[in-house]
Every structure is written in C-alpha cells, then in structure tokens.
Structure 1
C-alpha cells in the first residue's frame, strides 16, 4: 500500500512533558525524606523534589529513582551498576535492553535537572507528521512498526535505525524492535501523528525530506 508522508515538524527536547505526574513527585519526595509531601501545593512539587534530591549524593539519588521506576526490571546489582554508569555515560542510549531506554531517559533527565548538570544531558526527538494512503483501498491502522517502515525513504542512510535494522526496515519482515525504538505514538485519526523517540535513534538531522512516498506491506510471520 502506497502512502504520501509529510513531515510537518521535527524538534529536539530534553524532557517529555507530562511523563512525571504529581503522584510520582509525591512518592519520590517521600523516598527522598521530604515529609508531608502530599500537603504541598501541586505547582511546587517538582521544585521541592529537585531540592530534596540535591541533598543526596548523585549516585544515591540515582539508585532511589531507579528503584522507584525499574525495580521490576532490574535487580539490586544491576541498579547499582546503572547508577554508577549514569554519571559517566548516556545509559538511556547504551543500555542493552532497548525496551528500558525510554524510562532510563526520563530518570536521567530528572536527575540532570535536579543537579543542574552532573549527569549527561540526553535528548529526545518529537516528530509531527502525516501518512496519507494513495489508493482507495481500505486504510489499515498504523503501528509503530509500520510507521518506521514508512519513514525509511525520508531518512538519511547514516541513520542508526536504517544501519542496524536494514532488512526489517526495507523488506517484508517483522520488526518487533520498533515497539521500543518509538517511545510514544499519538494520533486521533490514524493520519496525523506525533512521534516521540530518542535523538540517539532518530535526530531531526536524520530527516532528509519533508515530503516523500513510502510502501507498506503486511509483514510475514517468520518462524
């Protein structure tokens, strides 16, 4: 199925608004020994958390934040290792399990801002785009996998996704990694989309065309 793809806007951010909720801030404040956090003005919770975090050593703060968000995914030894690595490298880009990259990004950036540096500054890419089918045949619901495949023709050959996943990006093959590569996909009409991913995977400089065509085929199940 042929599509016309239009990239309306692509930009870089160092924080995804709305990821951390007031409930998150209150629970984290309690873990950082701030009493009666639930009685605080919701508008002040983020700044209160930053102040509470700054009273801790960076590595200890990283352990607390990692345990809060990833205790079901990482064991104690892994959390200790990641907390060390976070001070030196962008773990949210380099960790072997790419399914954890998004959460590690949010933790990293919370700590980066709380300490006004200290932790490496990671970035995310937000793309606003549209996918319009060129045939009159029935429109299918676009998934993260199909969106990445359709973006292929508009991306530079140096793009990391294209280099690491050339076959699933260009051939009729399953691409399960797409679920982790694209952190979030928002759409109300299956035509206009907002896509959020890591700058590591897809930077705005990787986009070499604002309008292009793409072909989408249904991926075959491979045993």
Structure 2
C-alpha cells in the first residue's frame, strides 16, 4: 500500500512521563526502606523516592532498581555489572539485548535525576507524524510497519538503517522493531506518536519531512 508520510516534529526528552506508575514508586520506596509510601500523597511520591534513593551509593541504588525492573531477565552478576557500567556509559544505548534498552533508559534517567547528574544523561525522541494511505483505508500500523515506512525519510547515517538495512528496506520480517519502538500510539490510525531512544532516531536523522513510501507485504519465513 502507498502512504504519504509527514514528519510533524521530533521532541527530545530526558524522561517519558507516565512510565513510572504510582504503584512502581510505592514498591520502590519499600525497597529503599521507606515503608510509608502507600499512605503518602501521590503527588509527593517522585520526590520521596528521589530522597530515599540518594541515601544509597549510586551503584547500590542502580542494583535495587534494576532488580525490581529486570530481575526476572538478568542474574545477580549481570545486574551488578550493569549497575557499575551505568555510572560510566549510556548502557541503555549500548546493551546488546535491544528489548531491554527501553527499561534501562527509564532506570538510568530515574537515577540521573536522583543523583543530580552522576549518571550519564540519556535522551529519548518523541516523533510526531502522520501516515496516510493514498490508495485505501487507514489501518492501525505496527512498529514494524512504521519503521519500514519511515525508512524513505531517514538519513543513511541513521543507526537503524545501518544495523538493519535488509529488514527495514524491504519485505523481510523485522522483529527487532518491537524493541526499537518503545511506545507507538494513535487515535485515528493516521496520526501517530512514537517514542524511542535518541540513539535510534533523532532530529538529524530526518532528511525529508514529507515523502511517499510503499508498505510491502511481509514474506513469512518458511
């Protein structure tokens, strides 16, 4: 199907609002030995957590948050290593398991804020765009669909294009798209908001703000 794509804006942000729920904050407060989070005013939870976190050494705090978010996917040794590496590098951009990068970003930024910059400052991109079919009715697009359609407007320097050239440019399956795209929302199947790492898509990556692209049918692997 043919689409007309318009990139409206790309916002660069330090955190994604709403990622940490009140329940997350209450549970983290308990893990940082602040047991009264459940009865605290909901609006004060982020500030309380920042204060509770700051009583710990940075790598210790990182271990606690990582255990809470990724303890079912990483062992203690991996968590300990990541907690130390996070103080030096943007692990959320470099970790080889792409499906964990989003969670590592949110963890990194929670700690960056609590420690006033002791952790590297990673950034995310919020891409606002429309994808309008020129020869049919609009249907809800997947992360894979969206990245394949955006390909025509991305610079050759873009990291996704360099790492996944075959997957993003044709009818080959692109399962990594679901991990690269952290959030994809639409209310009308035409106008979309996409959240990902600035490392994957940033303002400099867009060569054209308006362009046409063809979404091919994916060839299923035998």
Q: For the superposition of Structure 1 and Structure 2, which TM-score range results when normalised by the shorter chain?
A: over 0.9
Shift in Å, 1:12? 0.3
Shift in Å, 1:141? 3.0
Residues 72-110 of structure 1: CA distance to partner in whole angstroms, max 9, x if unpaired? 111111111111111111110111100000000000000
Shift in Å, 1:188? 1.4
Structure 2 match to 1:212: 211
> How far apart are the structure 1 equivalents of 2:11 and 2:36?
38
Unaligned runs of 5+ in 2: none
Counting matched residue pairs gives 222
> How far apart are the structure 1 equivalents of 2:10 and 2:202?
8
Structure 2 match to 1:73: 73
> How far apart are the structure 2 equivalents of 1:59 and 1:169?
37
Structure 1 match to 2:116: 116
> How far apart are the structure 1 equivalents of 2:104 and 2:80?
14
> How far apart are the structure 2 equivalents of 1:33 and 1:107?
18
Secondary structure at the residue paired with 1:69? helix
Secondary structure at the residue paired with 1:78? helix
Structure 1 match to 2:184: 185
Shift in Å, 1:139? 4.1
> How far apart are the structure 2 equivalents of 1:179 and 1:26?
29
Secondary structure at the residue paired with 1:116? coil
CA RMSD of aligned residues (A): 0.9
Residues 170-191 of structure 1: CA distance to partner in whole angstroms, max 9, x if unpaired? 1111001100011110011111
Unaligned runs of 5+ in 1: none
Secondary structure at the residue paired with 1:219? coil
Please give the TM-score of this superposition, normalised by the length of structure 1.
Answer: 0.97
> How far apart are the structure 2 equivalents of 1:171 and 1:211?
20
> How far apart are the structure 2 equivalents of 1:172 and 1:37?
50
1:79-98 → structure 2 map (5 Å cutoff): 79-98=79-98
Shift in Å, 1:198? 0.3
> How far apart are the structure 2 equivalents of 1:188 and 1:201?
24
> How far apart are the structure 2 equivalents of 1:91 and 1:59?
13
Q: Is the 8 A contact 2:132 2:138 kept in 1?
A: no
